[in-house]
Amino acid sequence: MQLDIFENSRDVMLRNDVIHALEQRDAAVARDACDRLAQEYPADESLTALRALVEELGGTARNSFGSQLALRQARQAVEELQPMAQRIFGPEGGMKWLTPLWEDLALRAEVLPFKADSAQDHAASLWLRAGNWKAAAQAVATIESWRRIPTPLAWMTEARLQMFGLQATWPMIAELGWLSPGRLTDLLHRAEDPMLSALVRKFEADFEGAGDGDDAAWFAAWVLTDRPDIARHVSAAQAAQHSAPERAFRVLIELLGLEHQGRQRDIVERRKALRDLHPSLYAAYMKTR
């Protein structure tokens, strides 16, 4: 919904009064303006959305959540507001208007522990939705063994990508692919880094995998065949579950080092190991040799 400051009709003027008060986050003024609109134009199609936003804005101060269930109910209430906020303020404006609500939920959720069966009901997830990457990373860091758990690892990977960029995040991208390829796929498709987006498009076009959600497990290894220069960044990835994609990745790291040293006999041996792990990955590697 676009504001039209040149429109002189009464209904538009009253509607704009509500929207302006909502933008200023003035609950009392917004409620009065909404009441005037409802009295004079009870059939106005924007009233439902405006009322919902006004009521949320006028909520009283709340204490910390006592349980994941309480947080879940509050989170779902904010999620229900999203289409209404986007209708009133536009896609970007709506998300921006909701940011303080996500921040409020995150602050109130900081006392709650991480539970795998209620993963989204944790402060880290809410800080990410608010776009506060530093607070999200700090919240993840409070989770014991977070680097071995798919959801917290995905949260930290996203936060670090936003804070420090792609080079500093390569190790976690690799680890997330081995631990949870589906979560990595989701993150890769949402990432705004130009280099990463280009690599994802090329990977999806060229990599001959199974064609399912597990293909992303091979992403880090494939990247080494296309961009061997990133080996110095991604090689710091910690050992995970020693799956075939991880073993192929380690073999490629070894191969790049052996090529630099010119150790032909060892190169032949490691190339055979790579071919046995994934023939098409081996073929991608050999294209540049």
Q: Which two tokens stand for residue 57?
A: 């804005």
Instruction: Provide mean pLDDT across the span 151-168.
Output: 98
- For 187-205, what is each residue's pLDDT tens digit? 999 999 999 999 999 999 9
- Residue indicated by tokens 């779902």: 76
Hey, CA dihedral for 243, 246, 248, 254, is it positive or negative? Answer: negative
Q: Which two tokens stand for residue 1?
A: 């919904």
1, pLDDT greater than 90: no
Instruction: Provide mean pLDDT across the span 44-54.
Output: 95
The mean predicted confidence, pLDDT, of the chain is 94
Count of C-beta atoms within a 10 Å radius of residue 246: 23
- Model pLDDT, residue 289: 83
Confidence of residue 15 (pLDDT cuts 50, 70, 90): very high
7, pLDDT greater than 80: no
- Residue indicated by tokens 């101060």: 61
Instruction: Provide mean pLDDT across the span 207-223.
Output: 92
Instruction: Provide mean pLDDT across the span 38-43.
Output: 94
- Model pLDDT, residue 288: 82
How many angstroms separate the CA atoms of 88 and 19, rounded? 8
- For 90-130, what is each residue's pLDDT tens digit? 999 999 999 999 999 999 999 999 999 999 999 999 999 99
3, pLDDT greater than 80: no
- Model pLDDT, residue 4: 52
- Model pLDDT, residue 6: 45
Of 8 and 282, the one with more pLDDT = 282
For the chain, the first-to-last Cα distance in angstroms comes to: 56
- For 138-153, what is each residue's pLDDT tens digit? 999 999 999 999 999 9
How many angstroms separate the CA atoms of 289 and 274, rounded? 14
Chain centroid, CA 98 distance in Å: 16
154, pLDDT greater than 50: yes
| Amino acid, single-letter form, for residue 202 | K
Instruction: Provide mean pLDDT across the span 61-73.
Output: 90
The percentage of the chain sitting over the pLDDT mark of 90, rounded to a whole number, equals 88
DSSP codes joined into one string, the chain: ----TT---HHHHHHHHHHHHHHTT-HHHHHHHHHHHHHH-TT-TTHHHHHHHHHHHTPPP----SSHHHHHHHHHHHHHHHHHHHHHH-HHHHHHHHHHHHHHHHHHHTTSPP-GGGTTSSHHHHHHHHT-HHHHHHHHHTSTTGGGSHHHHHHHHHHHHHHH-HHHHHHHHHHHHHH-HHHHHHHHHH---HHHHHHHHHHHHH--S-SSGGGGGGHHHHHHHH-GGGHHHHTTPPP-S--HHHHHHHHHHHHHHHHHHT-HHHHHHHHHHHHHH-HHHHHHHHTT-
